[in-house]
């Protein structure tokens, strides 16, 4: 009751002031009213009360349901529009835009004919424009290898109505002229220097393989197994509210891990490296930052044999042509255990095992059976990230 009384008194005096001010300015009523009620985050909503909202594990328990999608037109524009893509430039895994391989368009459509449906939980409907606005005030950094790059490109396409490439030097490279960083900025902020809304830094291992220390600007990328990049990124984390990291597919047996060059040594090295990284991050992340470690979906050898999603996952077993994809779930479990042990709300596991069912969605059967086409299952990761971030906003 006292609360209500206060409210009425404040309300009454506000009304008096308001009427006075009304005499001088009639036009601003609407703005006045909305700014009074609208100091909530743009992603805030009431939880749909009767529904069971997805968690990271229940989200991944489900099926790819077939539903022949209708396109406005049987064309690149028609497919972009269905996917909610706002990006008309080309990059490596945009299978439907491969003009030299017209059959790729139909394959891309067939990939989209399957929709991920969790069995027992509800996803909050994806709202890209609100998401973009929220991220403009709470930036997101993605760090990892080319699979994370794929997630970044998907994010760009999904938010392309509002996010655009940031062409200014925002200092995301920490002064390291050898590295590049990809960055998007909300159009509302594009004229402000230093602004990054979504960033991507390519780091195949997240740590320097020589001693598992964080890669530092101008400190070199360290030892690499095969082709790739291991750019510095920890110097940038204080600029981001949300961070998502992943590493896995670039780790292989190596004499660096021990004399036997086997999977056991590899697993031990991975665990040691990630333990050291988490220790560093625990010291360096502020209390309001949130960091997800994404799981590493595996590829499917000879993937041209898959023409529809699996119902039961076909797991790699270490055969020829599978690289060490059989290690990826083991890596996931190392991270999951580390996070559970810490029980620190800043660190969360981000499970995307639903992608393991998409042997049919790979970028170039049979030469690239690890990456997946865009649009495709990686879009669901970004939509799920929206879901997780919205939950954080609701719960805070």
Ligand X SMILES: *[C@@H]1O[C@H](CO)[C@@H](O)[C@H](O)[C@H]1NC(C)=O
Residues that bind ligand X (CB under 6 A): 57, 60-61, 102-103, 106, 234-235, 238, 283-284, 295, 332-333, 336, 351, 353
Q: Least distance (Å) from ligand X to the CB of residue 236?
A: 8
Q: Least distance (Å) from ligand X to the CB of residue 352?
A: 8
CB nearer ligand X, residue 133 or residue 387: 387
Distance CA 275, CA 199 (A): 24
Q: Least distance (Å) from ligand X to the CB of residue 125?
A: 22
What is the DSSP secondary-structure string of 7-63? HHHHHHHHHHHHHHHHHH-STTHHHHHHHHH--S-TT-----TTS-B--HHHHTSEE
Distance CA 309, CA 111 (A): 9
In this structure, the strands spanning 181-186 and 62-66 are: unpaired
CB nearer ligand X, residue 6 or residue 333: 333
Distance CA 178, CA 158 (A): 30
Both tokens assigned to 145: 């290898």
Residues 290 and 392: beta-carbon distance below 8 Å: yes
Residues 163 and 129: beta-carbon distance below 8 Å: no
Q: Least distance (Å) from ligand X to the CB of residue 234?
A: 5
Q: Least distance (Å) from ligand X to the CB of residue 196?
A: 16
CB nearer ligand X, residue 42 or residue 56: 56
Q: Least distance (Å) from ligand X to the CB of residue 295?
A: 5
In this structure, the strands spanning 198-202 and 181-186 are: antiparallel
CB nearer ligand X, residue 29 or residue 65: 65
Both tokens assigned to 9: 């008194």
CB nearer ligand X, residue 216 or residue 391: 216
Q: Least distance (Å) from ligand X to the CB of residue 338?
A: 12
Report the residue closest to ligand X, judged by CB.
60
Distance CA 371, CA 378 (A): 10
Distance CA 144, CA 148 (A): 5
Bond before 358 cis per omega within 30 degrees: no
CB nearer ligand X, residue 145 or residue 153: 145
CB nearer ligand X, residue 109 or residue 362: 109
């Amino acid at each position: 009751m006292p609360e209500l009384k206060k409210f009425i008194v404040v309300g009454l005096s506000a009304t008096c002031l308001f009427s006075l001010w009304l005499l001088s300015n009639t036009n601003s009523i609407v703005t006045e009213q909305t700014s009074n009620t609208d100091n909530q985050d743009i992603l805030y909503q009431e939880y749909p009360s009767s529904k069971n909202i997805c968690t990271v594990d229940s989200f991944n328990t489900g099926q790819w349901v077939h539903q022949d999608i209708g396109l406005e037109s049987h064309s690149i524009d028609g497919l972009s529009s269905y996917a909610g893509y706002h990006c008309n430039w080309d990059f490596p895994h945009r299978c439907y835009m491969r003009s030299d391989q017209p059959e790729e368009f139909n394959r891309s459509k067939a990939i989209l004919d399957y929709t991920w449906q969790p069995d027992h939980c509800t996803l909050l409907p994806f709202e890209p424009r609100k998401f973009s606005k929220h991220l403009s005030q709470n930036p997101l950094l993605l760090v990892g290898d080319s699979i994370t790059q794929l997630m970044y490109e998907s994010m760009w396409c999904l938010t392309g109505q509002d996010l655009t490439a940031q062409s200014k030097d925002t200092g995301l490279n920490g002064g390291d002229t050898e590295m590049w960083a990809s960055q998007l900025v909300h159009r509302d902020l594009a004229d402000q220097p230093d602004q990054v809304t979504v960033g991507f830094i390519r780091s195949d291992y997240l740590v320097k393989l020589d001693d598992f220390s964080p890669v530092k600007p101008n400190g070199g990328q360290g030892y690499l197994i095969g082709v790739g990049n291991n750019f510095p990124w920890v110097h940038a984390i204080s600029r981001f509210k949300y961070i998502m990291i992943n590493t896995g597919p670039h780790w292989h047996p190596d004499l660096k891990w021990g004399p036997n060059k086997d999977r056991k040594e590899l697993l031990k090295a991975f665990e040691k490296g990630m333990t050291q990284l988490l220790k560093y991050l625990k010291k360096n992340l502020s209390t309001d930052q949130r960091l997800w470690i994404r799981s590493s979906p595996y590829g499917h050898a000879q993937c041209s044999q898959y023409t529809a999603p699996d119902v039961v996952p076909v797991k790699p077993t270490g055969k020829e042509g599978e690289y060490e994809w059989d290690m990826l779930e083991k890596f996931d479990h190392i991270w999951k255990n580390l996070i559970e042990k810490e029980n620190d709300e800043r660190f969360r596991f981000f499970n995307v095992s639903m992608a393991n069912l998409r042997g049919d969605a790979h970028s170039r059967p049979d030469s690239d059976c690890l990456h997946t086409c865009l649009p495709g299952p990686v879009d669901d990761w970004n939509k799920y990230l929206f879901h997780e971030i919205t939950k954080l906003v609701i719960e805070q």
